[in-house]
């Protein structure tokens, strides 16, 4: 089963890129973040025409997440945490893998910048609530997959120049500790588990020639329960969509489990 996560930075603005990518990669499940549209304006028919069902938790102009699937999913939930600002940042579903029922959690973590504003406080509170609820989930279901845009640089190797980001909301130590706290609940960062020293990125800013210079960062992740790690066949970052015309500033991360 191929599960892919991609912050598309507006699903309607990138719809042709997304459809072309789906036709090339044929994911079973595609987790989308930053769709930037309300539920009623989401292009469900575009995805239906190529064989996919859409589950959407949208928001006007900002944020928003969705799950696109070849097969019907169960237990769709848009209220995983109580969001102080009522933003659309998490959608969950139940995914069946052979005899296992996997809790699939698609997230778009707040950016948090600038760090001296309420945006950073919101990110910290959001992460605290999220970790608390994931901990509760692990007590009921040991098979969990969290995927999405975490807006967290886990380690120095995960960004082109860590010194520039050590006091940024993506790279601050207290934020990276939150990421570690989440992993310590019984997860593996699948990409880093499979690639101990490889330096690849999932995001390149639109400015200052970041893509051309490879000034990127790895902030899109898959965290998989330890109980499922032996089911991982492969994980890779597909850079091709970032090189297309009118691209998202993120590129897909592709997980295959058996």
Could you list the active site residues? 108, 149
Tokens of 91: 């959608």
Strands (E), the chain: 2-7, 29-33, 53-57, 65-69, 74-77, 90-97, 100-108, 144-149, 187-189, 203-204, 216-217, 220-225, 232-237, 253-257
φ, ψ of residue 122 to 5 degrees: the values are -60, -45
**Which residues lie closer than 8 Å to 117 by C-beta, 6 or more apart?**
none
C-alpha–C-alpha distance, residues 136 and 226, integer Å: 16
Q: Kindly report the number of other CB atoms within 10 A of residue 82's CB atom.
A: 8
């Amino acid at each position: 089963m191929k599960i892919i996560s991609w912050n598309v930075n507006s699903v309607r603005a990138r719809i042709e890129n997304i459809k072309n990518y789906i036709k090339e990669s044929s994911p079973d499940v595609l987790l989308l973040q930053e769709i930037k549209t309300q539920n009623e304006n989401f292009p469900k028919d575009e995805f239906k025409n190529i064989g996919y069902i859409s589950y959407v938790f949208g928001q006007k102009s900002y944020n928003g997440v969705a799950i696109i699937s070849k097969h019907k999913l169960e237990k769709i939930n848009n209220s995983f945490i109580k969001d102080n600002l009522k933003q659309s940042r998490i959608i969950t579903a139940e995914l069946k893998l052979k005899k296992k029922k996997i809790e699939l959690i698609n997230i778009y973590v707040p950016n948090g910048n600038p760090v001296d504003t309420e945006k950073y406080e919101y990110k910290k509170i959001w992460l605290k609530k999220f970790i608390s609820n994931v901990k509760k989930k692990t007590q009921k279901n040991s098979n969990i997959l969290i995927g999405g845009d975490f807006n967290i640089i886990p380690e120095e190797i995960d960004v082109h120049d860590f010194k520039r980001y050590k006091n940024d909301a993506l790279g601050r130590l207290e934020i990276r500790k939150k990421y570690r706290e989440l992993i310590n609940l019984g997860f593996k960062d699948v990409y880093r588990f499979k690639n101990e020293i490889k330096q690849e990125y999932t995001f390149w800013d639109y400015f200052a020639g970041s893509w051309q210079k490879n000034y990127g960062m790895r902030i899109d992740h898959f965290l998989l329960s330890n109980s499922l790690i032996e089911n991982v066949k492969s994980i890779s970052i597909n850079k091709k969509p970032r090189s297309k015309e009118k691209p998202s500033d993120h590129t897909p991360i592709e997980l295959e489990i058996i």
